[in-house]
Amino acid sequence: MRDARSFVRPRRRTRAIKVGSVQVGGDAPITVQSMTTTKTHDVDGTLAQVYALAGAGADLVRITCNTVEAAQGLAEIVPRSPVPIIADIHFQYRLALAALESGVCGLRLNPGNIRRPSHIKEVARAAAERQVPIRVGVNAGSLDKDILGRHGDATPEALVESALLEIRYLEEVDFYDIKISVKHSHVPTMIESYRLLSDEVDYPLHLGVTEAGPPPGGLIKSVAGISTLLMEGIGDTIRFSLTADPVVEAESGRRLLEYLGLRERRSLDLIACPSCGRAEVDVIEVAQVAQEALEKENLPIQVAVMGCVVNGPGEARSADLGIAAGRGRGHLFIKGEVVAVVPESEMVEALVSEGRRLVEEGVEARLAAADLSAAKEAEADRLRLLDIQPEANSAAERRQRVEIIARGAKT
């Protein structure tokens, strides 16, 4: 099978910036971000959440800096954090200066909230001295009134114009360590905004659907917007903005990149057929039990749960490991090759056990250790099922009859 990345358009080449030890843009891997929900002055509570986010896949974490106490908290949090910390600044430019003094690795400024260009430039100069990048974070709720008035609404053109205005202020003081976001809660507007912006600048872009809401809707909207752009080669760092535990944001962002082939797999990817009348087991239940058991093992493999031995191994041949259910037993397969036949009651246990060995020993070693009689047993099961369900599996005969009718030939 082709590498998943070969289906994604070549990534738009952007400038590379450094957020602490993490590169964003250029040829660096696309990064995952999230934001803490704790009060920043609660140093221990905030650090606990930062560690949880890092463990869930966040490469960068943003923390609000909305008070003097929050800035003081950052001074204690930053040196103890496992990942670079970005300070989220809204109205008070002095808090941006204080956050820089606390040692943060990045700033996020909201255009339209810090009103005076002189204040924006002062922050940029201070950031330049410390080699700290700034994200220009545009959203529909903080557009400059003049820009909003000209466009009449938070259109893609208005969002991009706001970003370009803010960037000009930074560039006027020779500040170029910039990344940009033009988020919107309406997915088509968000997508078009980033498309327009990517034609205007070569700065790295931070993707997200703002105010996406709680799962499952928030997840669906985020995936729709972010993955569309990533497949077009647009985007350097992402955040799922969910009304949920931020750990869900980090996990979801990381998994999306893995599923698109844009980051190395480090978590379980369980695929399963949607089931049908031919299934000999409750596929939904087996898949749920298997997912729970395999996730506890933290195995970075793709596992398939298929409800039919007729087509299961073939349909899921790209999976590292899988089980296809027959009558009373299951066919355990690796890369489409049946390696064992196990009782139905032991299918999940067999997946977990073989999954461990697969990660430790590799595909070739596990194929070499296959039960030599398993393939013959599996084929016998498959043929028996074909006999039981002839109508559902008579495609070849149907094709022949269709050809006879279509060509007008007599039987």
Question: Is the sign of the CA dihedral 187, 242, 300, 271 positive or negative?
Answer: negative
Q: What are the pLDDT tens digits along the chain (411 aa)?
A: 455 556 678 899 999 999 999 999 999 999 999 999 999 999 999 999 999 999 999 999 999 999 999 999 999 999 999 999 999 998 899 999 999 999 999 999 988 788 899 999 999 999 999 999 999 999 988 787 889 889 999 999 999 999 999 999 999 999 999 999 999 999 999 999 999 999 999 999 999 999 999 999 999 999 999 999 999 999 999 999 999 999 999 999 999 999 999 999 999 999 998 877 666 688 889 999 999 999 999 999 999 998 877 777 777 888 999 998 877 888 899 999 999 999 989 999 999 999 999 999 999 999 999 988 888 887 887 777 766 555 445 566 777 788 888 887 654
Phi, psi of 63, rounded to the nearest 5 degrees: -130, 135
Query: In which residue are the tokens 């296809």 written?
Result: 324
- Closest among 214, 366, 381, 241 to 301, alpha carbons compared: 366
Start-to-end C-alpha separation, the chain: 41
Q: Quick check: do 4-259 and 269-393 share a fold?
A: no
Angle at 249 between CA 244 and CA 251, to 5 degrees: 125
At residue 399, the pLDDT reads 76
271 beta partners: 304
Q: Does domain 269-393 have CATH number 3.30.413.10?
A: yes
At residue 146, the pLDDT reads 87
At residue 392, the pLDDT reads 47
At residue 396, the pLDDT reads 63
Ranges of each domain in the chain: 4-259, 269-393
pTM: 0.88
- Closest among 127, 109, 213 to 166, alpha carbons compared: 109
| Distance separating alpha carbons of residues 325 and 371, to the nearest angstrom | 18
Q: Which CATH number fits domain 4-259: 3.40.50.1970, 3.40.50.720, 3.20.20.20, 3.40.50.300?
A: 3.20.20.20
